[in-house]
Amino acid sequence: PGVLFIRQTHCNEAAWTKRTIFSVPSFPWEISPSALRSCMSAWVIDQYGTDGVLKYTEEMPVPSVGSTSEVLIRVHAASLNPLDISMKGGYGAKLLNLRRDPMSVMAGASEFPLVLGRDVSGEVVDCGSDVTHVVPGDEVWAAVPPWKQGSLAEFVTLTEYEVSHKPKLLSHTEAASIPYVANTALSALVNAGGLCRDSASNKRVLITGASGGVGTFSIQLLKAWGAHVTVTCSQNAEGLVRGLGADEVVDYTAGDSLELLEMMEKFDVILDNVGGETEEWATGLLKPWSGAKYVTLVSPLLLQTDSMGLLDGMLQAGLSLHNKAMQNIISCGVFYRWGFYAPDGPALDEVSKLVDAGKILPVVEAQFPFTQVPQAFQKVENGHARGKTVVRVVEDDDKRAEGLGRTRRSEAADSEQEEREMATQN
């Protein structure tokens, strides 16, 4: 059955009544929510900044299916990534605005009000005429590209290609913790790192910054593919990463971490989630002259286009990538590459199978109701992630998986959540 919202007055959530319909084939019930409702609740920014720019509104226009390949999704849960914190401050604005309006046809148009939030788990409510993979009523998950309006809203539109059926065993809250880090890790490990399900077996992979969103997903994916996984993280994350399958764990806060890594057998692939100084020593840990690859997720591209402008920034970033790649290939025969998130629904279909097979667990460190999005941002901004921070957009999300203990949670996450709940009650 579909769910239809019938509009009674103007843009007031309380004035909507919910009516369940059963296979009514056509008019009047097959009208999309965007045709029936004009406004939705969302967290938006109207300007870039650090404090106080996030605003709750009930006046955000409901997006509509704008092309024949688009899908309108009712968001049940969203999650936050470090990118949301950076984008709130204006990070990447120049390049993302170019992607939003490549021909600059919308002269004078602004990206504001801008909705952040890169992950969605929810339900399809409307589809363009060419969409064949999903139908209204399907439960889906997706990573929302940063150049599109995000998922901290009641509805979001995506193309069919970006959307995938959500794993059946996960609640929406759990499912929302995976898509953006999964699409990023897969793009980095497969496209830049040259690994895949069939080639990863027994490959030695090092993941730096393994206790966060990308790392906790990557450990599980690589173990499902049969790789040998070494990670770096803080000492208090060791239990979490070992529980996810890491074979070797190096505490980067101990003074001897580099010596420990140098004593190990060399690696085929390094996935660097930390950047900065790490890349100065990491390439030396790769097997020389063997096609080994260093892939960093921390590239200067967007920072440079922000500070230098599109043309100079891209030239400067391209030059620095070229120089590092040449230097590494000439001196020790290893590849130096940048990894980026890439939208990919079919890749999420594969992840969904691994989740339903119990090979990948969601790692939800903290969850917040939709009313507490600023607190969720603060949590992510504080750093030291142990998995993901999720926002429950719909509170009636089912709890089917939570009782089964499928979500991997660190002890620190449990006690933090308890403290937060007590603070809210007080």
Ligand X SMILES: NC(=O)c1ccc[n+]([C@@H]2O[C@H](COP(=O)([O-])OP(=O)(O)OC[C@H]3O[C@@H](n4cnc5c(N)ncnc54)[C@H](OP(=O)(O)O)[C@@H]3O)[C@@H](O)[C@H]2O)c1
Contacts with ligand X, residue ranges (CB under 6 A): 81-83, 181, 184, 208-209, 211-215, 232-234, 252, 273-274, 297-298, 339-341, 383-385
What six digits make up the tokens of 333?
């025969």
Helix (H) or strand (E) holding 418: helix 411-425
Task: Name the minimum Å distance from CB 257 to ligand X.
Answer: 8
Task: Name the minimum Å distance from CB 65 to ligand X.
Answer: 27
SS3 226: coil
Task: Name the minimum Å distance from CB 339 to ligand X.
Answer: 6
SS3 302: helix
Task: Name the minimum Å distance from CB 353 to ligand X.
Answer: 23
Rg (CA), the chain: 22
Closer by beta carbon to ligand X, 275 or else 374: 275
Of 67, 68, 8, 64, which Cα lies nearest the Cα of 31? 64
Closer by beta carbon to ligand X, 82 or else 167: 82
Rounded CA gap, 305 and 321, in Å? 14
Strands 119-127, 139-143: pairing kind: antiparallel
Closer by beta carbon to ligand X, 45 or else 181: 181
Rounded CA gap, 275 and 200, in Å? 23
Closer by beta carbon to ligand X, 11 or else 189: 189
Contact predicate 367/389, CB 8 Å:
yes
Task: Name the minimum Å distance from CB 386 to ligand X.
Answer: 6
Phi and psi angles of residue 164, each rounded to the nearest 5 degrees, phi first: -140, 155
Rounded CA gap, 31 and 421, in Å? 40
Task: Name the minimum Å distance from CB 239 to ligand X.
Answer: 13
Rounded CA gap, 120 and 143, in Å? 6
Task: Name the minimum Å distance from CB 134 to ligand X.
Answer: 25
Contact predicate 357/404, CB 8 Å:
no
CB proximity list for 201: less than 8 A, separation 6 or greater:
225, 226, 227
Closer by beta carbon to ligand X, 72 or else 364: 364
Q: Which residue is nearest to ligand X (CB)?
A: 212
Closer by beta carbon to ligand X, 64 or else 191: 191
Task: Name the minimum Å distance from CB 302 to ligand X.
Answer: 9
Closer by beta carbon to ligand X, 270 or else 297: 297
SS3 129: coil
CB proximity list for 240: less than 8 A, separation 6 or greater:
211, 216, 233, 363, 386, 387, 408, 410
Closer by beta carbon to ligand X, 57 or else 234: 234
